[in-house]
Amino acid sequence: MNNDYLNDEMEIDLLELLKALLKNIKKILICTLVCGTAMFVLSAFILPKSYNSSTDITIVPAGQPMDYTSYLVGDKVLNDVGSKLRMDSASLNELIVVTRDSNNSYNYNISVTTNDPEKSCNIASKVVDSFKSQLGRELNLNGVTTVNEAQVNTSPTSPNTKKNVMVGALAGFVLSAGVIILLTLMDDTIKSEDDIEKYLGLTTLATIPDRKDFITGKGPRNSRKSAKKKKSKRRKK
């Protein structure tokens, strides 16, 4: 008996929540649109853009192979590149990411990200050139081959406008729907005779009509008057 009552309560509550969401669907859609638009404006015009450029090289040692990652971003390379581009080595080190190919230990990827596409490309190229000239003989290398040269990429890697718009729109939808659901659950006012029976367990003996019905002519009293007027008009005819 109690389980049936709880199930009925749950079904009724879910229906009420669904009705509340449908009733406020315009507000939800407006909030979704506003949040999505705000994220578009933020991503496209306000947030700083980052541009990435990368190059792939193959390092062939004369002797036993080793990991050259630390050498590619070592002091000799960074100081040499920094002097040519008028940048300090510490700043350069934060912009450069070197990755060794897990499938081929001879291959390396040098990736550079800055706020200027040409600058990113220039730094990536200079790192390779400096590594060849500064450490080629010291490390006893047979050769350093550039597989893919660095290119100027004018498409920013961040912010991701499409992703941010989707996240903003989703956040607006969830936030607005959540507020409506919360307000509906917190609303404990009695709105109908069914609510009295449902929440108080009482049976209504009578109802008081809304005063507005009498003012607008929709109440029972006005409807009787209008009916009498119609009858009197018919008699006159």
Q: What is the reported pLDDT for 232?
A: 52
Q: What is the reported pLDDT for 195?
A: 61
Work out the pLDDT band at 5, boundaries 50, 70, 90: very low
The distance of Cα 99 from the centroid of its chain, to the nearest Å, equals 29
The residue assigned the tokens 């003989």 is 137
Mean pLDDT comparison of 17-21, 26-30, 211-215, highest-scoring range:
26-30
Instruction: With H, G, I as helix, E, B as strand and everything else as coil, classify residue 129.
Output: helix
The residue assigned the tokens 């649109």 is 33
Please calculate the CA angle 206-212-214 and round it to the nearest 5 degrees.
75
Q: Which of 130, 152, 51 is nearest to 84 (CA)?
A: 130
Other C-beta atoms lying within 10 Å of the C-beta of residue 188: 7
Residue 4 has pLDDT above 60, yes or no: no
Instruction: With H, G, I as helix, E, B as strand and everything else as coil, classify residue 88.
Output: coil
Residue 6 has pLDDT above 50, yes or no: no
Q: What is the reported pLDDT for 221?
A: 52
For the chain, what is the mean pLDDT? 84
Order of strands, sheet of 141-148, starting from the edge strand that comes earlier in the sequence: 96-100, 107-114, 51-61, 141-148
Report d(CA 92, CA 94) in Å as an integer: 5
Q: What is the reported pLDDT for 190?
A: 63
Report d(CA 228, CA 161) in Å as an integer: 69
Residue 3 has pLDDT above 70, yes or no: no
- What pTM was computed for the model? 0.68
- Choice between 1 and 196, residue whose per-residue pLDDT is larger: 196
Work out the pLDDT band at 184, boundaries 50, 70, 90: confident
The DSSP string of 1-13 is -HHHHHHHHHHHH
Phi/psi for 140 (5° steps) reads 55, 60
Say if CB 139 and CB 72 are below 8 A apart.
Answer: no
Domains contained in the chain, CATH given: 2-46+164-192 (no CATH), 51-148 (3.30.70.1130)
